[in-house]
Chains A and B, each alone.
Chain A
């Protein structure tokens, strides 16, 4: 019962806080958006079309590359734990692993996936 009361209290306090902020918005920044102020700024001439548009973001190969290095970091945490015990062998093994991943970068580079255009 106390739990529900506490939850309701938190809800109402948050709600009142939100409403107060919302109501004071006008006093903090007393300006309203007008049609000429909504136009994107490209130098003073109005655009013909709306700025919403679909374009090829070309991030697919980039995201694969990101995943490869993201997983590499996951492997590096346990490696860092045993690194002091294992010594040079662990270092060499990790370097080999990273070098193999670096080929991934070279491949993506060759495929022009790092270029936007």
Chain B
């Protein structure tokens, strides 16, 4: 017992290892958790002590959340937070520490971890039943033999099917159900990927793939009035988003552009982390939080460093090339602009025209081009914010958001998700991860715009 106490005391000094599952309405919080010194965000629930449940979830994602919960090794605990002070509705975690203030997440996770390690609090029990999907039994009288390597159904699951590989061999092809909570893929993204070795041979999307956590509420839209309490709560949660606000009323250009620069830098921080440059990613994330239009030199330094970095160029050059025709099929946005398509809603706005706005356009369309374009756009956004001198936008029902044009019927993220199967087939797994991260997909975007449309009809 003495040894255990000593270990618990040692562990109490370390940050709480947390795995975060992010639902709708939490994308404002989730990226910044990595800056919290009390938290160590890990990429697998198996490496975590505490499960962070942030935002709202629908039926499909709730089941996945329960499965992720059971993968966290005991003793484990759950910290949950949901936007708009609403209770974590329908969550299966009975003993979760529910917070109303997201700034308390770090201290709550550390406290919970300490209680778990010292035995003052019991581990959160399994949610799913402890039964294999099928008994492990072969064709022989003792359960031995049968097709495949072992015969039977190991751990209740049959062995993989066969398919041709590029050398004319017939080899096993396994179906990997990616998502909805597999970092660094965007939260909520679900893909059914067939891989042979680590080469992707087929990608499809499950029926619920384009849903996000909000669709529990979406289902009510048909029966309830658009201005229902539920829609209002969700709508209020995004009111502070300057891009949503710009859909309906004039907004200072400086606000929009600073938000854009911050978002692009935060995205870059995540992309750097995924590329293995975690410490540099954290520095960029700090920069994203503190950058001001008057002090944009660190962003220029960052851009220079990126241009010179050979290993990043090797990792991203030629990966996930979006062709000119694919770019034309997108509604616009950074991904299309990195592939030579210069459409940008800002070009039509009088305020931007007065500032002499010209969209940044690159030709290549690969992940490297998207990296460079976002950094160039962050620089441009800071310059625009600095020179805007209080000018405001003119609402036109369409605004150039972080990922492309946003409007009641337009969402760049939805178009990007639809493009994914075509883009990923034939890639190695590592390249596929780089490609998906470089697209910067937000699964919640479409649902939020749905709300704005509803709000527009109601008012």
Residues of A in contact with B (beta carbons under 8 Å apart): 31, 34-39, 41-58, 116-117
Q: Which size bracket describes the interface of B in this complex?
A: 35 or more
Q: Which of B67, B73, B426 contacts A44 (CB 8 A)?
A: B67
Q: How far is the CB of B121 from chain A (nearest CB, A)?
A: 15
List B contacts of A53 (CB < 8 A). Answer: 159-160, 171-174
Most chain A CB within a 10 A radius of its CB, from B61, B161, B197 = B197
* Given contacts A37-B71, A41-B71, A55 and B196 within 8 Å (CB-CB): yes
A-B pairs, top 6 by smallest CB distance, nearest first, are: A44-B64, A43-B182, A53-B172, A55-B197, A36-B70, A45-B177
CA distance A45 to B174 in the complex (A): 14
Q: How far is the CB of A56 from chain B (nearest CB, A)?
A: 6
A-B contact count (CB 8 A): 129
Q: How far is the CB of B56 from chain A (nearest CB, A)?
A: 16
CA distance A44 to B190 in the complex (A): 10
Contact A44 B172 (CB under 8 A): no
Q: Which of A34, A35, A58 contacts B156 (CB 8 A)?
A: A35
List A contacts of B202 (CB < 8 A). Answer: none
* Given contacts A48-B175, A50-B158, A34 and B68 within 8 Å (CB-CB): no
Contact B197 A56 (CB under 8 A): yes
Contact B44 A41 (CB under 8 A): yes
Q: Is B286 an interface position by the 8 A CB rule?
A: no
Contact A44 B155 (CB under 8 A): no
CA distance A58 to B174 in the complex (A): 18
Contact B132 A50 (CB under 8 A): no
Contact A57 B175 (CB under 8 A): no
CA distance A37 to B426 in the complex (A): 31
Q: Which of A35, A38, A42, A52 contacts B177 (CB 8 A)?
A: A42
Q: In chain A, what residue has the closest Cβ to B426? A: A117
Known: A43-B64, A52-B159. 13 other contacts (CB 8 A): A36-B67, A36-B129, A42-B178, A43-B185, A44-B63, A44-B64, A47-B177, A49-B159, A50-B155, A54-B172, A56-B165, A56-B171, A58-B197
Contact A116 B175 (CB under 8 A): no
CA distance A39 to B157 in the complex (A): 10
Q: Which of B153, B190, B199 contacts A45 (CB 8 A)?
A: B190
Q: In chain B, what residue has the closest Cβ to A115? A: B428
Q: In chain B, what residue has the closest Cβ to A50? A: B157
List A contacts of B132 (CB < 8 A). Answer: 35
* Given contacts A56-B167, A56-B171, A117 and B428 within 8 Å (CB-CB): yes
Q: In chain A, what residue has the closest Cβ to B47? A: A41
Contact A44 B175 (CB under 8 A): no
CA distance A51 to B177 in the complex (A): 12
Q: Is B181 an interface position by the 8 A CB rule?
A: yes
List A contacts of B150 (CB < 8 A). Answer: 52
Contact A55 B181 (CB under 8 A): no
List B contacts of A42 (CB < 8 A). Answer: 176-179, 182
List A contacts of B426 (CB < 8 A). Answer: 117
Q: Is B13 an interface position by the 8 A CB rule?
A: no
A-contacting residues, B55-72, CB 8 Å: 61, 63-65, 67-68, 70-71
* Given contacts A34-B70, A41-B68, A117-B428, A48 and B180 within 8 Å (CB-CB): no
20 A-B contact pairs sorted by A residue (CB < 8 Å): A35-B156, A41-B44, A42-B182, A43-B64, A44-B21, A44-B61, A44-B65, A44-B67, A46-B177, A49-B160, A50-B157, A50-B160, A52-B149, A53-B171, A53-B174, A54-B171, A56-B165, A116-B199, A116-B428, A117-B197
CA distance A41 to B159 in the complex (A): 17
Q: In chain A, what residue has the closest Cβ to B188? A: A43
Contact A35 B180 (CB under 8 A): no
List A contacts of B185 (CB < 8 A). Answer: 43
CA distance A43 to B190 in the complex (A): 9
CA distance A58 to B156 in the complex (A): 30
List B contacts of A34 (CB < 8 A). Answer: 70, 126, 130
Q: How far is the CB of A81 from chain B (nearest CB, A)?
A: 37
List A contacts of B159 (CB < 8 A). Answer: 49-50, 52-53
Q: Is B363 an interface position by the 8 A CB rule?
A: no
List A contacts of B171 (CB < 8 A). Answer: 53-56
